[in-house]
Amino acid sequence: MRNIRSIYVPRRQVIRGLLATAAFGATSKLWTGCSSDSATSNSTTESGSGTGSSDQPLVLGFLYVGAKDDYGWSQAHALGVKEIGNLPGVKIVEQASVPETKDVQEVMRSMIDEDGATAIFPTSFGYFKPHILEMAKQYPAVQFFHCSTLWEAGMPENIGNYYADTDEGQFVAGRVAAQTTKTGKLGFVAAKPVNPVIRNINSFIMGARSVKPDVKIQVIFTGDWLEPVKEEQATNSLADQGVDVIGVHVDSPKVVIETAEKRKIFSSGYHADQTDLAPKGYLTGTTFYWAEFYKNYVDMIKAGKKVMDGSIPRVIQGSMKEKYIKLAPFGPAVSEAAKKDAEDAEAKIADGSLLVYTGEIKDNTGKVRIPKGTAYKMTDPVLDKIDWLAEGVQGSVS
Amino acid sequence: MSKTPQSRIWIANGLGMLSRYNWRKIAEAIALPVGALLFSLILFGIFCAFCGKNPFAVYGLIYKSAFGSWRSFQGTLLRAAPLMLTALCTALPARLGLMIIGNEGALVMGGLGAIAAGLLLSYGSITPSPEQLQNVSGIPSAGVLLGMALAGIVAGGLWIAVVGALRHYRAVNETISSLLMNYIAIALMNHLVGGPIKDPGETIKASSFSLPEMNRLINLPTTRIHYGLFYGLIACVIAYFLIQRTTFGFAARTAGGNVKAARIAGLPVGKLTVMICFLAGSCAGLAGMAEVAAVHGRVNESLVAGYGYTGILVAFVARYNPIACTLVAVLLGGILSSGGALQRTLDMPDATALVFQGLVFLVILFSESLYGRFRVFKEPIAPIAAPPLPPSSSTTVSA
């Protein structure tokens, strides 16, 4: 009897299964229903873009990996975009918090197909491979401008690069830090020991030691670009060790700057202006001024220039001289003398009389890395190979 | 007078037949989630109104950008593909009474297993030398992909099987241990791509070597959906039949209903636990394989994109029913893909899609507490003089 009863149970399940399948089938009917609709909806969108193209607005698509107000990388870009958004004849479509998955391709595709974008600016490093390469292949008429220097021969011709080197900004910020510190101990919260981060740490301490040669800097790598908990712990442990100025290079410096303010120590920012996070302790910071790039691109694209035929340069790169990199407004803790010194240094960097990478530069094991008499300009590819920490840095890359 | 009772018996018999199929329960199981969805739509509409947007314009845009045309529906399916598989990682053990949330870790392990197998089969080494990179082995790409899928399945499966074994033999809480295993898996992947299996040519993002182009998982003809979608659909159907239509599934459900009873009945609870966990992990592992083989072509931190955690949500909303998982995955895929249009067209904050997703989740969880509260869905009390109805035990052994 028991056995027979238990047979009834699956029978009920059969009905349930049938119903579920029917529901599935019903929805699949819905899909086909939709796809037959799609013909009409497509044609309406097409006619929509047709009427749009009569007054020819230039549609630019921007993708950010973070939020537009993350006080970091994405915010710096979004601020730049905001400035060109007001230009006549320019229409911006932007999307924030786009993860580095197939989503990137989907978003770019929608921007091109639905919004009619003719140039796409995917702003995160991680978007490049494979996503931008893939889309550039599929849309050869659309221009893709990626914020990096990753393009190599053999990659699609419709990809351009732009980048700003931050070393000079960090160098001047380091000088400001050295003139503010009382303990002579600086700290640096960094994401990963990769070339751009290492260069920022190095130029920060080189700037500091060009003012006070005995200043030391303690570096903590959190291991990833976005690690708010570890960033807070790192900042606290640096403060515990007597560090009184903290520099930072992570995706969003928000946590580090706020924690430093709580601990009543000074901070030097990165990416975007973070003054309002730490009104007392914020000294200054290296900030990107992407608007300068974007204005430039808008002018060139409007003039009908294209990266495919070389009328837009493959790589546009610059730094303080071109105003691509700026220092954030000085905080109240920065002395008048330090302000003056920073402005002088900026001026010297702009006219080329001060080069950050001027020998002799030793690493923190005492080995000479750039010999005396050698100096490298910011665009020198040698700098992309730097994987050592400069003298005065306490920490290691491995 | 004697005729009435006879007809009553017939009616009662008829009702008994119907109640055997338990249509009220089914109606309840469909009506409550759908009602919850509608209610969360209303809540979301209020949120939109507070943002200063017309809620109906927002609904319309969500529909249009998620399901409105074949082109946009492809975007939805693309996002849904990995969710179906990762949802199974929570849904299967849930039938056994285990709450496993190690989906993300199993996905990552599956990805690692898949890339290891893929590189070994393509180049003969996980860290191929420049010469090896020049000669791709002659193994046909279907063979390479099969090897990758198997490796992904085994790697993900073993990862969650460990959780099941810890649960059964050492009584370690499976929710906590599977959550922690996520972090271990991600750390392990970061360590491996940062050192032992790193591609030195990649400077921006520590990554493994890339699969050769020919050994990638391709798209369905004339679409941009990769074959991983079929993995998800097939796995969900298989899981459904396994759980509902086999003795193995029945044993698992029995153990999920009452472990002690299952033990007394002589069911091998330990073996069941480990096997179900293995199957669960293997599904998430397969999702990792599909991501690696179809999207990234290599392993790096981009693999950790939250598909595992969204999968938990899918499993919850689907009430652990594998078939329902496919539908819910498509729905969530649609919500995720419409987030972009909300930002671009209506200039809403980028977190809008997440707000919607969170509302849906909360309301669905709340609706769980409403089961059995509505009279409509209650079995009518058997009429007097009814013949013995099918045993109530058959209705209590519920899914």
Q: Do B343 and A21 touch (CB under 8 A)?
A: no
A167-284+326-394 matches A57-164+291-318 in CATH topology: yes
Q: Would residue B273 count as lying in a domain? A: yes
Say what the pLDDT of residue A381 is.
Answer: 82
- Between A48 and B179, where is the model more confident? B179
Chain B partners within 8 Å of A113 (Cβ): 71
Confidence of residue A30 (pLDDT cuts 50, 70, 90): very low
Indicate if the pLDDT at residue A202 is higher than 90: yes
Chain B partners within 8 Å of A27 (Cβ): 327, 330
Q: Is the CB of residue A319 less than 8 Å from the CB of residue A293?
A: no
Q: Tell me the shortest Cα–Cα distance from A181 to chain B, in angstroms.
A: 33
Q: Which of B397, B205, B225, B383 is nearest to B302 (CA)?
A: B205
Query: Tens digit of pLDDT for each residue in A326-354?
Result: 999 999 999 999 999 999 999 999 888 89
Domain ranges of chain A: 57-164+291-318, 167-284+326-394
Confidence of residue B71 (pLDDT cuts 50, 70, 90): confident
ipTM of the complex: 0.76
Domain count, chain B: 1
Tell whether omega for the bond before A360 is within 30 degrees of 0, i.e. cis. yes
Q: Do B344 and A223 touch (CB under 8 A)?
A: no
Chain B partners within 8 Å of A109 (Cβ): 75, 224
Q: Is the pTM of this model over 0.80?
A: no
Indicate if the pLDDT at residue A49 is higher than 60: no
Q: Would residue B107 count as lying in a domain? A: yes
Q: Would residue B372 count as lying in a domain? A: no
Pick the residue from chain A with its C-alpha nearest to B323: A20
Q: Would residue B209 count as lying in a domain? A: yes
Q: Tell me the shortest Cα–Cα distance from B297 to chain A, in angstroms.
A: 8
The winner for highest mean pLDDT among A41-50, A51-60, B9-18, B210-219 is B210-219
Q: Do B75 and A224 touch (CB under 8 A)?
A: no
Burial of A102 (0-12, 13-18, 19+ CB in 10 A): buried
Q: Is the CB of residue A227 less than 8 Å from the CB of residue A206?
A: no
Is the Cβ of B191 closer than 8 Å to some Cβ of chain A? no
Q: Which residue has the tokens 């598989």?
A: B85
Average pLDDT along chain B: 87
Q: Would residue B38 count as lying in a domain? A: no
Say what the pLDDT of residue B40 is.
Answer: 92
Pick the residue from chain A with its C-alpha nearest to B326: A24
Per the structure, the complete domain to which residue B103 belongs is given by: 85-320
Q: Tell me the shortest Cα–Cα distance from B394 to chain A, in angstroms.
A: 6
Q: Which helix (H) or strand (E) holds A296?
A: helix A290-302
Q: A160: which 2 tokens?
A: 């351009």
Say what the pLDDT of residue B137 is.
Answer: 84
Query: A167-284+326-394: what fold?
Result: Rossmann fold (3.40.50)
Which strands, in side-by-side order, build the sheet including A216-221? Answer: A325-327, A282-288, A266-271, A245-249, A185-190, A216-221, A393-394
Q: Is the CB of residue B183 less than 8 Å from the CB of residue B259?
A: no
Give the integer Cα–Cα distance in Å for A156 and A134. Answer: 9
Please tell me the CATH superfamily of domain A57-164+291-318, with its number. Response regulator (3.40.50.2300)
